[in-house]
Structure 1
Amino acid sequence: MRRATAHLAPVVPLLTELGELFAAQGHELALVGGPVRDAFLGRTSPDLDFTTSATPDQTLAILKPWSDAHWDIGREFGTIGARRDEHTVEVTSYRADAYDGQTRKPVVAFGDNLEDDLVRRDFTVNAMAMRLPSMEFVDPYAGLADLAAKRLRTPGAPEVSFGDDPLRMMRACRFAAQLGVDVAPEVREAMTAMAPSIEIVSAERVRDELTKLLLAPEPRAGLRLLVDSGLADHVLPELPALKLEVDEHHRHKDVYEHSLTVLDQAIALEGPADGPESSVPGPDLVLRLAALLHDIGKPATRRFEDGGGVSFHHHEMVGAKLTSKRLKALRFDKDTGKAVSRLVELHLRFHGYGDGAWTDSAVRRYVNDAGPLLQRLHRLTRSDSTTRNTRKAALLSQTYDALEVRIEALMAAEELAKVRPELNGNEIADVLGIKPGPVLGRAYAHLLEVRLDRGMVGREAAEQELRDWWVTQPESATQPESVPQLDSSPQPEPQSEPEPADQ
């Protein structure tokens, strides 16, 4: 208690002031939930959550003159928010909610005492409170003992808790990742039995919990619980599908375990949170999603070969499509979906590099296809090596080192990050005497291919190359209809590379 109180020392004046304001009006106030839990863990919560015997109207009347700003968008659920200086607070009236079992929306009912309010909370570690202004610690459901034992329990029966709010099962997985806790046996049993009920929860809420889980320092434990409980079958079915039955000859590694290891290794390659963009500052959601999902195309593409081997031809292309579909279903934003899918699509490209025989043209294409995702692709590719053969692992690492050196050299010489044809759209139109339209777009794409294949050839050579191409086109004697001019280069079609034997 002394350590927790000491950790709260910077906000004790604020806590005391608020407690006295509510007490002066005849109301109880307590700091509750995450801020109390985090104080015992030596962590600082960004926001301060309170519970009170006051009604929302009474709370607003107290906070309005005290705060710099206030809001009541949560009034329906008893919550009033306020900000003063750098502190944000949310005060919720004692609750005694009931749920209809069909949706996640509670039927709001306000309670009249702190203990009843605490029993409706998700887990005992979040059902601890400090009465204000006395700083009296309240822990009716032994949350502190559970926190010390790294144990996750519900204040009441888990079946009742998860029946009230199925999203709490996702939170259990998230806390396993964030806090390093083990769920109690009865909690695990209830999660397994009630996993299908997660489907009544909105995709947006599931996405938010999954995101928090993935951004935890060690998400592996949370992902395991997600899969073992059966929740993943309903929210991320591609993950348990990676548990391919290993054939009797063990011709391929466990793809599920491999994917979790790739995720661990990708996290280890993230840069510091305050590092430059080129270091991929962690935690990076795009990189972590790509690491977790990079092989989800394997179940659909596994083939046993006559010679005793196994193949997963084009699993990166299938996986990219599955990734896009799943992230869209989970309501991730378009940019995140496109970035993760692109990384999944490109994650095998390096293995065509072999002994370093790529031409400069191939290296340019690698950089061009990755675009702004290049640094993440570097980390994903390196993480995808999970072989136990130390010699093979060292060789792969050295080969990729060499590729990165070549990329840096070409980027320095040719500004590959800004690769464009040596003639822009207007200049192409002038050389060929054509109007903006589809033909101009094809001409632009042709010069981009020249740029990628041969590097900078100079304006005169580029113009000659353009004229030589033009005489081979059937439209060279006619003018196309006018359409808006292109101002950016089209993406070249990705090319699949052979599956490396040990991936």
Structure 2
Amino acid sequence: MVHLFDSSALKTPLPSVVGELGELFRDAGFELALVGGPVRDLFLGRVSPDLDFTTNARPDDIIAVIRRWCDTYWEIGRAFGTIGMRKAGYQIEITTYRADAYDPDSRKPAVAFGDKLEDDLFRRDFTMNAMALRLPSMELVDPFGGAKDLQAGLVRTPGAPSTSFSDDPLRMMRAARFASALEVDVAPEVFEAMKDMAGRITIISAERVRDELVKLINGKAPWAGIDLLVESGLAEHVLPEVSALKLEIDEHHRHKDVYQHSLTVLRQACGHETGPDGDVPAPDFVLRFAALMHDVGKPATRRFEPNGSVSFLHHDAVGSKLTAKRMKALRFDNDTIKAVSRLVELHMRFYGYGDAGWTDSAVRRYVNDAGELLQRLHRLTRSDVTTRNRRKAERLAFAYDDLEARIAALAEQEELAAIRPDLDGEQIMALLGIRPGPVVGRAYRYLLEERMENGPVSHAEAAALLRAWWKEQPESREAPAAGGEQSGEGEGSK
């Protein structure tokens, strides 16, 4: 299907660089077309800063055409026929028409250049990405009905889904990512192929799976993408801990199982993000993934009690370890692993506050343990309330409102977000007359506990506490008499 594209109907006009490139290639005797995601985005009323083009020109010819036009260019993808460049703030890739042949046991294609735009479009993942805009004539080339599928909200493949997924198994995860990002459904034949071929995802590198998963979680409706992974069987290979939740009955019977509860928590966590300028910018992968994984420790900790109830004792700690292990397998960076697993570990800490109340010491510990994750922990804890019992929901919300108010009040008094002992390591060593070593760490922890329990004290009071503690330590009998009164108490007084 080829027809003129009405660019005047676009809410956002095409960047001028698109037309300029089209004219450059036409004048040089080559074809050029805007292709894939950028064309799909035109139908969605948006223009991406990353523009993809395809051409019958070979890499050397591409460079000859754009060398003097672009701001800079690079040849990293040259072996695959791709030349990258930057122009007027846009990142651009131009790729020679492809006709790939895949090894069924490898993700890497044997590159073969093609001569026809339609053949290049046939090798693409989904029909909505297999559309092109010929330049500079503005002819829309849509041989597989991508525009119709996009309007219908349907993910289909240009050819047989089994062939497409055999060529590149990562496309199965990409289908789930599209379900999240574009809020679309997969065609029945696509879903069946995903179920039949789910095991082939294991030939894809962990890093590529991770990247697709991050995009899925950060989409508009990540719960839809996760559900597609689980229902198709792909999650058994990439997130088996989430699939396992489908078998577990929620102890409060609020949902048919813990899996549905987790999807609800994920959905609610997305709604609790504070936007681009807030404490938890949207989309926030750390919060969202913690919401999905927060109960993955339940299958391993489920116990049937004599009274007929079900318990999941310590599922938070177990879930934190399982989450960290899965994220390591997916090659996440250490900071992200620590943040997500810490939120999973802390997500139950609040419960019981509304009934028993907390001392100021307990509030300080809550804030200190959360550290820079406090705002995310607030939102995760609120998202975890999915009860249909209105009174219970209101009681929990009121209790958390009260906790946040107490945190704010204490923070005004004590700079709660950065709690430290009243003496630092240098002052401890000076007061006790000792050198760096394990004893300094023990003293520091003792003073931190005192700070948590009783709040801030003056420098003199902290020094007195430290000396009293030091008298009880066996090392004090071996150390020379401390002469730190002059070096410690006169400086840094609080």
TM-score (ref. length: structure 2): 0.94
**1: CA distance between counterparts of 2:253 and 2:51?**
53
State the SS of the aligned residue for 1:379: helix
Deviations 1:104-141 (A, max 9, x none): 11100001100000000000000001111100110111
Of residues 263, 266, 270, the one that matches 1:267 is: 270
**Aligned amino acid, residue 432 of structure 1:** L
Question: 1:462-484: per-residue Cα shift (whole Å, max 9, x none)?
Answer: 1111111111111111249xxxx
Query: What is aligned with 1:500?
Result: none
Number of the residue aligned with 1:112: 115
In 2, Cα distance between equivalents of 1:195 and 1:5: 41
Alignment of 1:323-472 (within 5 A): 323-355=323-355, 357-472=357-472
Query: Equivalent residue for 2:282?
Result: 282
2:22 to 19, 36, 47: 19
What SS does the corresponding residue of 2:436 show, helix, strand or coil?
coil
Residue deviations 1:449-499 (CA, integer Å, cap 9, x gap)? 00000001212221111111111111111249xxxxxxxxxxxxxxxxxxx
DSSP-derived class of the 2:354 partner: coil
Query: Post-superposition shift, 1:197?
Result: 0.3
Q: Which amino acid aligns with 2:275?
A: P
How far 1:425 sits from its partner (Å)?
A: 1.0
Amino acid at match of 1:77: F
Match for residue 48 of structure 2 among 45, 64, 68:
45
- 1:48 aligned counterpart, secondary structure: strand
Q: Deviations over 1:262-290 (max 9, x none)?
A: 011111010112x13x2x11100100010
Structure 1 residues 402 and 327: CA distance shift in structure 2, 3 A: same
Letter paired with 1:56: P
1:321 aligned residue: 321
Give the letter aligned to residue 358 of structure 2.
Answer: W
Give the SS at the match of 1:9: coil
Aligned equivalents of 2:28 and 2:455: distance in 1?
A: 76
Structure 2 partner of 1:9: 13
Offset, 1:417: 1.4
Q: CA offset at residue 9 of structure 1?
A: 2.4
Give 1:240's match in structure 2, choosing from 231, 235, 243. Answer: 243
**Does the residue aligned with 1:355 lie in a helix, a strand or coil?**
helix
CA displacement, residues 228-253 of structure 1 (integer Å, 9 cap, x when unaligned): 00000001111110012549996985
Structure 2 match to 1:225: 228
Measured after TM superposition, the shift of residue 5 of structure 1 is: 5.5
Q: Which residue of 2 aligns with 1:147?
A: 150
SS in 2 for 1:66: coil
Which AA in structure 1 matches 2:315?
A: H
Amino acid at match of 1:236: L
What SS does the aligned partner of 1:35 have? helix
Deviations 1:163-203 (Å, cap 9, x if unpaired)? 00000000000001111211111111111000000000011
Contact 1:35 1:45 in 2 (8 A): yes
Give the structure 2 partner of residue 473 of structure 1.
Answer: 473
| Alignment partners' CA distance in 2, 1:5 and 1:162 | 35
Which of 156, 159, 163 is residue 160 of structure 1 equivalent to?
163
Q: Any conservation in 1 of the 2:368–2:417 contact (CA below 8 Å)?
A: yes
What displacement does 1:82 show?
A: 1.1
**SS of corresponding position for 1:349:** coil
Structure 1 gaps, min length 5:
481-503
**1:32 counterpart = 2:25:** no
More divergent stretch after superposition (246-255 vs 103-112): 246-255
- Cα pair distance change 1:353/1:249, threshold 3 Å: closer
Question: Matches of 1:439 and 1:114 in 2, distance apart?
Answer: 72
The DSSP-based 3-state class of the residue aligned with 1:88 is strand
| Partner in structure 1 of residue 104 of structure 2 | 101
Match for residue 297 of structure 1? 297
Query: In structure 1, what residue type is equivalent to 2:406?
Result: R
CA contact (8 A) 1:214 1:285 kept: yes
Instruction: Please give the alpha-carbon distance, in whole angstroms, between the structure 1 residues aligned to 2:284 and 2:254.
Output: 33
* Structure 2 residue matching 1:350: 3-state secondary structure: coil
Q: Contact 1:29–1:53 at 8 Å: present in 2 too?
A: yes
CA RMSD of aligned residues (A): 1.7
CA contact (8 A) 2:248 2:299 kept: no
Query: Scaled by the length of structure 1, what TM-score is found?
Result: 0.92
Q: Is the alpha carbon distance of 1:104 and 1:4 closer, same or farther for their aligned partners in structure 2, counting shifts above 3 Å?
A: farther
SS at match of 1:51: strand
The 1:247–1:45 alpha-carbon spacing in structure 2 relative to 1, beyond 3 Å, is closer
How far is 1:16 from its partner? 2.2
Alignment deviations for residues 141-168 of structure 1 (CA, whole Å, 9 cap, x no partner): 1111111111111001111110000000
**Structure 1 residues 82-91 or 192-201, which shifts more?**
82-91
Deviation at 1:354, TM superposition (A): 3.1
Q: Which moved more, 1:136-145 or 1:237-246?
A: 237-246
**Structure 1 residue 355, shift from structure 2 partner:** 2.9
Q: Which residue is 1:499 aligned to?
A: none
Equivalent-residue separation in structure 1 for 2:243 and 2:63 (angstroms): 47
Cα gap change, 1:30/1:350 in structure 2, threshold over 3 Å: closer, same or farther?
Answer: same
* Partner of residue 483, structure 2: none
- Note the C-alpha offset of 1:14: 2.2
**In the TM superposition, what whole-angstrom CA distance separates every residue of 1:68-117 from its partner, at most 9, and x where no partner exists?**
10011010111001111122211000000011111211100001100000
Task: Supply the distance in 2 between the matched residues of 1:474 and 1:157 (Cα, whole angstroms).
Answer: 76
Give the aligned residue type for 2:36.
G
Q: CA deviation at 1:41?
A: 1.0
